[in-house]
């Protein structure tokens, strides 16, 4: 799969490079160059498929050939290692509950998948990747848990002092290893602004490989 920057001022790239870089050189988000609709048979037989089988068919086109299918299946199995039931609210409305993961945050799914993809790409890489995250609570915990112990990845989380719950702060600050949490005297917007300024700092980005976390994970 080929990806292009939404700012359209950077060269096209692969899924691997998009994952490692996070943002394009023109500071745009990467987007698939084309999306092939899933076949009708997929939807006709979806009730007979497991969650992991559904996920594999849905995401395969976006990551191959950068991740072999056997590795992708293993990543998906590790990502979806907890229950996320569809709960019916009424006759016409159902909701997908994504808060049954290790940090009780809906971003557990995305963070775990991205962490394992980056871990696969970085397994033979000697260059340290720093994942920089601004969080108001749930994002940071999910990213921290997802990337915990991933080789070659350092996580730096900025969170506003006194504006996250006690359990969220413990999720951010007690893991150790490659997870570093910094308490900021300010608001979430201040934390987010610091992350944005870091990615716009050419001197900083020329000396270390930064990847944005949080909302774009």
Active-site annotation holder among 21, 27, 40, 107: 107
Tally the C-alpha atoms within 13 A of residue 132's C-alpha that lie toward its C-beta.
20
Tally the C-alpha atoms within 13 A of residue 92's C-alpha that lie toward its C-beta.
0
Tally the C-alpha atoms within 13 A of residue 56's C-alpha that lie toward its C-beta.
17
Strands ordered across the beta sheet of 13-14: 13-14, 2-5, 30-32
User: Catalytic: 107?
Assistant: yes
Tally the C-alpha atoms within 13 A of residue 22's C-alpha that lie toward its C-beta.
20
* 93 neighbors 173 (Cβ within 8 angstroms): no
Query: Counting every residue, how long is the chain?
Result: 217
> Among all residues, which ones are annotated catalytic?
107
């Amino acid at each position: 799969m080929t990806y292009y920057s939404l700012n359209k001022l950077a060269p096209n790239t692969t899924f691997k490079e998009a994952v490692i870089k996070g943002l394009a050189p023109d500071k745009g988000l990467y987007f698939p160059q084309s999306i092939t609709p899933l076949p009708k048979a997929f939807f006709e037989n979806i009730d007979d498929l497991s969650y992991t089988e559904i996920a594999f068919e849905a995401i395969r086109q976006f990551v191959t050939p950068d991740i072999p299918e056997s590795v992708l299946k293993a990543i998906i199995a590790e990502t979806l290692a907890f229950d996320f039931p569809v709960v019916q609210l009424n006759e016409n409305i159902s909701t997908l509950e994504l808060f049954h993961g290790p940090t009780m945050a809906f971003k557990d799914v995305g963070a775990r998948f991205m962490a394992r993809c980056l871990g696969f790409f970085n397994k033979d890489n000697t260059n340290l990747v720093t994942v920089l995250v601004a969080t108001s609570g749930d994002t940071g915990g999910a990213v921290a848990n997802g990337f915990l112990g991933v080789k070659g990845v350092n996580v730096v989380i900025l969170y506003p002092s006194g504006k996250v719950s006690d359990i969220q702060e413990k999720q951010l600050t007690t893991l150790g290893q490659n997870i570093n949490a910094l308490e900021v005297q300010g608001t979430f917007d201040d934390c987010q602004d610091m992350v944005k300024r870091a990615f716009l700092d050419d001197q900083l980005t020329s000396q270390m490989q930064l990847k944005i976390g949080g909302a774009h994970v």
